[in-house]
Structure 1
Amino acid sequence: MTGKVEGKIAVITGAASGMGASVARLMHANGAYLVLADISDGVMAIADELGDRAAAIVGDVGNSADANAMVDLAVSRFGGVDILCNIAGYTGDDRGTLVDCSVENFDKMVAVNFRGPFMTMKAAIPHMIARGGGSIVNVASTAAIKGYPSLVVYGGSKAGLVAITRGAAVEFAKQNIRVNVICPGPHETPMLLAAVEANPASREKIIGGVPMGRLGKPDEIAQAIYFYASDASAFITGTILPVEGGQTA
């Protein structure tokens, strides 16, 4: 594995399954200390699986107290924060048009996809400064950089995450804090597979929009997140990396 995270302390949201669990396993295998956070108590099983150097916390990143508690656990258990991976996301309960989207659904998407990363970044950055720097990896979506019917509000919430990533990258560059964002296309995550199960015909339509002709795998996103988190990307900040099989080419 190119790039080191050995001895680094990482907070990973959305770590109970999919991309988050893949990143957790990869970082742990390469020597990182982890705080794994998720709204699902399945995150406890991932921490138990990894054993030493892993702790878990159940919480909602959209809740400011929960977001702060995730960072606080890393500080109290391991002594600080070097890496923050904001992977938790929410696509919405109603997948209709902008007009169809309820205000409640809008609020929840913004809370998880935009407010949550804002809160964890706000909490983690002072600890990173105290340790001489750090790396923040935010996970947005191709919907943040390309329009998709039925994903208008979701895309808007993720576009906000792209913007805050770039601004924070400039704002904290002199403190040696790197902030980058990954925009995944369709991947075989529980969130997408649940949507496909509800509408089986959508699978072929989704794959048809990917030039490489397949869905991505969580491990493929994990490799990209690991690169940004590790010292292999020491001179990279404020960038947007689509990982989507050519979908936005």
Structure 2
Amino acid sequence: MSLSIQGKTAIVTGAGRGIGLAIARHFVERDANVMFAGADEGALDAALAEWGDDRSQVLKFAGDISEKLAMANMISATLDAFERIDILVNAHRFVKDSDPLDTDPGVLEEMLRQNMVAGLRLSQMVAKRMIRQAQGQTDLVQAGAIVNVSTLAACRPVPAMLGYSIACAAQEQATRGLALALAPHNIRVNGVSFSSVMSHELQCALKEDAGLRDKIIAGTPLGRIAAADELTDTVHYLVSEGARFVTGQIITVDGGRSLADPVAAQVL
């Protein structure tokens, strides 16, 4: 089983910090060419500074990647630098509180646009390129791999973040639907759902709530919060040839948190 991604070209969105940065860095360390994409140019510059002047494997694109023109420009920049695209990881996430009883339609629409529609649209655009690249190849050669990153909010809704929960659930269904649509082209589409992992958003939340860390650890069977780079091996597997018969799956990386019943833990 080959897990090598050496020489592959990947686009990773949300790569300026947190989960996206951990995934992009992991790919570079495994000798892939990586487009770091995100809205915060300062964060991207800081991320790429790690490689100093030797940036033959890394590139950045700063812009609103929920906009179609920005997506097209990012794809063009990637092709200009690396000539092909083999991997797409939609790790960009937009999290905002919303009133579950009076959700502002604008907030809900923004949650869906940022967390589901943008990733779906980018996946469609990249998939068309992957299909063209694969022309003339044998059926057994992987044409491309796409991974969508979501959270446990998709199946464990958080009332204060109802819009985000809905968007995560929609994203996971889009993953399954796109997997079926692209299977005839030998492009695989999978998802990774995480919780109890040190994302950028969780870091910010822990600074605001001193007791949150203990609550998360208590609700996680493996008894800790994982580092962001503990998620990357799962993403790596899904984009590698080792997962060449895996598509349309949502793999949960949460230390068992989705299995835990906080009420049962107190009663049984």
Q: TM-score, normalised by structure 2?
A: 0.86
Shift in Å, 1:147: 2.6
| Secondary structure of 1:248 counterpart | helix
Matched, 1:98 2:100: yes
Identity of aligned residues (%): 28
CA shift in 2, pair 1:31/1:175, >3 Å: same
Shift in Å, 1:9: 0.8
Shift in Å, 1:116: 1.3
The separation in 2 between residues aligned to 1:75 and 1:68, in whole angstroms, is 11
* Post-superposition CA distance 1:126-179 (Å, at most 9, x none): 111122210001001111122333232211101111111111111111111000
Unaligned 5+ segments in structure 2 are 135-142, 260-268
* Post-superposition CA distance 1:166-195 (Å, at most 9, x none): 111111111110000000013212211112
Aligned residues: 247
Unaligned 5+ segments in structure 1 are none
Bigger CA radius of gyration: 2
| Number of the residue aligned with 1:125 | 127
| Secondary structure of 2:245 counterpart | coil
The separation in 2 between residues aligned to 1:215 and 1:69, in whole angstroms, is 37
CA shift in 2, pair 1:2/1:149, >3 Å: farther
Residue identity in the other structure for 2:120: F
Shift in Å, 1:104: 3.2
Q: TM-score, normalised by structure 1?
A: 0.93
Shift in Å, 1:240: 0.8
| Number of the residue aligned with 1:37 | 37
| Number of the residue aligned with 2:115 | 113
2:19/2:200 contact within 8 Å kept = no
2:34/2:59 contact within 8 Å kept = yes
| Number of the residue aligned with 1:151 | 161
| Number of the residue aligned with 1:61 | 65
Matched, 1:244 2:244: no
Equivalent in 174, 189, 192 of residue 164 of structure 1: 174
2:107/2:163 contact within 8 Å kept = no
- Structural RMSD (CA): 1.7
Matches within 5 A, 1:1-249: 3-41=3-41, 42-50=43-51, 51-92=55-96, 94=97, 97-132=99-134, 133-249=143-259
| Number of the residue aligned with 2:265 | none
1:44/1:57 contact within 8 Å kept = no
